[in-house]
Chains A and B, each alone.
Chain A
């Protein structure tokens, strides 16, 4: 007997008390929790996102479509970045005002090569106001998962208010589970020393979020 059959057999014997007509999934779970917490206008939702991002030490900037290239150029210059990773589908206009050397997101690059890049600029798939979270789904304007992980400085552009939802349930509804997702809430952190939160371990230690709208 294979272990698969053995385990499934054990499970079935263990569940001998469960009746054939046990409550089906659809009725077994009462989903009477809230779809979002509180009522807010689209503008207030964006404000809450900014507030919660900042609460977990992300640096938040706000601008409009025309000002974006200037803001990004300014952030890269302030950081002193010489190189910036660019996902293949990133809007070309976004980096029009900076002459920092572009590094393409290629499958062939080694992790060591990525480690030598100073910054990375990406878009996002959705942002969650209540938790201060941005979610990347590997779309062409966000690139492979590792490009937002190895460089120490991540700038993420969020289009507001379109890409902002209030809550976790709303975010999951917008996302495709077949894509690899990365949910990011502030820079890398740890609570492992005396259960106190310290920012900055393995992921980017500086996370800047630019809200464009």
Chain B
């Protein structure tokens, strides 16, 4: 099994297989339900949650609206603090920069803190091609890496695995990568965590190069922030001599004070804790404490294209808490792999088609991977209106129109698979603007209702495959109104 998402089938196809996997559904149901109630409690502790959410939204929106200015400011302050800033327009460029920086140290292995940005650009695979081994050190990332698997959740990439499966992966694979799992390893979470501690310890202690992402970058001070639980982040951020951080350009906040909002909303939204066990902040390099060399790679890779869409750009507010995944009824049943991206769930359904464009089958199908129930918007700590963006992207897929790809304005053609939908909508528009036609059509439909099929023929079959067609009433509403309530109907005249 490959660790990449290239050539993924459309969401409905992938989801159909996932939904049949009863172990997967059990694992996801258990995990998402556990965290849902806890998150609600953690949020309820703060009476000013709504104000914090609004402030987070506004800080991010303001930053995005002036991103050029804040990027320049950040570069200035990171450089002044002793760091080196690199700019990467796409995944390939970012991977080339990181590989070069690692090679310059003379090392052939690196330890990694969990980072969505480096997952997104496929950094581990790119480094391996250059002969550099990247070791994931987050417990869930380790489970994914050892299992030659793909991540299925933003925060807990191995959420699709239960303790028994994890035990099996550790017992089987750890010896291939370094220290083997302890003899007689059981499936209690504490023992599994201990096995990971022992396995990774030797890697941390000898590591000369660490690679991370960042949750936030403060423009005015040049400070980077990593929020974590296990201590693997602290290991990677402080023990190596060289630290390379790959961070999306949307991760900026203007001031140090802005952290007071996100350090309250992020932990409660993601792991439902008042505060996560460890948060590290660093500003450039510190004399005789931690890495001597610090590189920051600023990553675009579709973010500026997303920024160009006035409706879609709100997706860049995302702080990767994954609360939207945990409450989503579609995610709970289909699992993360069906989304064909490192960003699964509701946020992935609006982020992936914007970062990558809607050219592939999977990306064109993602805006439809939702029932539009709105639970994701409800829990989002930066108030991203995910349903609004989903509908906006559906329109783009069906109707086509102007978009920005790799910095260039292009006009998207309407998608092929949606011809029937467009024809149906055109017919509806025609009929609804002609009352006489509509009336005749409705009466005809009522009289022939015993002959109606229960499923649609032709291109409509897919739609009615999972839904009952609504029954047509014996009499159109307007006829009934005329008969019972109208001027000729006599009694009970409507007001």
Q: Are A196 and B159 touching (Cβ within 8 A)?
A: no
Give the complex CA separation of A168 and B55 in angstroms: 15
Q: Are A14 and B290 in contact (CB under 8 A)?
A: no
Interchain CB contact under 8 A, B230 and A203: yes
Say yes or no: is B289 at the interface (Cβ < 8 Å to chain A).
yes
Query: Are the C-beta atoms of A178 and B290 separated by less than 8 Å?
Result: no
The answer to whether A111 and B66 touch (CB under 8 A), given A52-B274, A197-B271, is: no
Interchain nearest-CB distance for A202 vs B (Å): 4
B100 contacts the other chain (CB 8 A): no
- Asked if A21 CB lies within 8 Å of chain B CBs, one says no
Q: Are A6 and B48 in contact (CB under 8 A)?
A: no
By a CB distance below 8 angstroms, the chain A residues around B194 are: 200
**Which of chain B's residues has its CB closest to A111's CB?**
B205
Interface residues on A, range: 35 or more
Closest chain A residue, CB of each to CB of B72: A8
Cβ-closest chain A residue relative to B287? A107
Residues A200 and B197 in contact, CB atoms below 8 Å apart: yes
Q: How far is the CA of A199 from the CA of B68 in the complex (A)?
A: 42
Question: Does the CB pair A15–B68 fall under 8 Å?
Answer: yes
Cα–Cα distance between A110 and B229 once the two chains are bound (Å): 24
A7 lies within 8 A of chain B by Cβ: yes
Residues of B contacting A93 in the complex (Cβ-Cβ under 8 angstroms): none
Does B146 make an interface contact (CB < 8 A)?
no
B200 lies within 8 A of A202 (CB):
yes
> B310 in the interface, Cβ–Cβ < 8 Å?
yes
Contacts of B242-258 to chain A: CB distance below 8 A: 249, 254-258
Contact with A along B254-270 (1 / 0, CB 8 A): 11111111011000000
Within 8 A of A (CB), among B29-84: 30-32, 34-35, 45-48, 51-52, 54-55, 58-59, 61-62, 65-68, 71-72, 81
Question: How many A-B pairs fall under 8 Å by CB?
Answer: 264
Partner of A4, one of B66, B87, B264: B87
Within 8 A of B (CB), among A166-213: 168-169, 172-173, 177-204
**B173 touches A (CB below 8 Å):** no
Interface stretch among B115-123, B278-286, B451-459?
B278-286
B interface list, Cβ under 8 A from A? 27, 30-32, 34-35, 45-48, 51-52, 54-55, 58-59, 61-62, 65-68, 71-72, 81, 87-89, 93, 137-140, 143, 155-156, 158-159, 162-163, 166, 189-190, 192-194, 196-197, 200-201, 204-206, 218, 221, 223, 229-232, 234-235, 237-239, 249, 254-261, 263-264, 271, 273-283, 286, 288-290, 298, 300, 304-305, 307-308, 310, 313, 404, 407
20 A-B contacts, Cβ less than 8 Å apart?
A: A2-B87, A10-B407, A28-B61, A29-B59, A33-B51, A56-B273, A111-B205, A115-B201, A145-B289, A149-B231, A149-B234, A150-B239, A169-B257, A177-B221, A177-B223, A182-B280, A183-B278, A201-B139, A202-B201, A204-B231
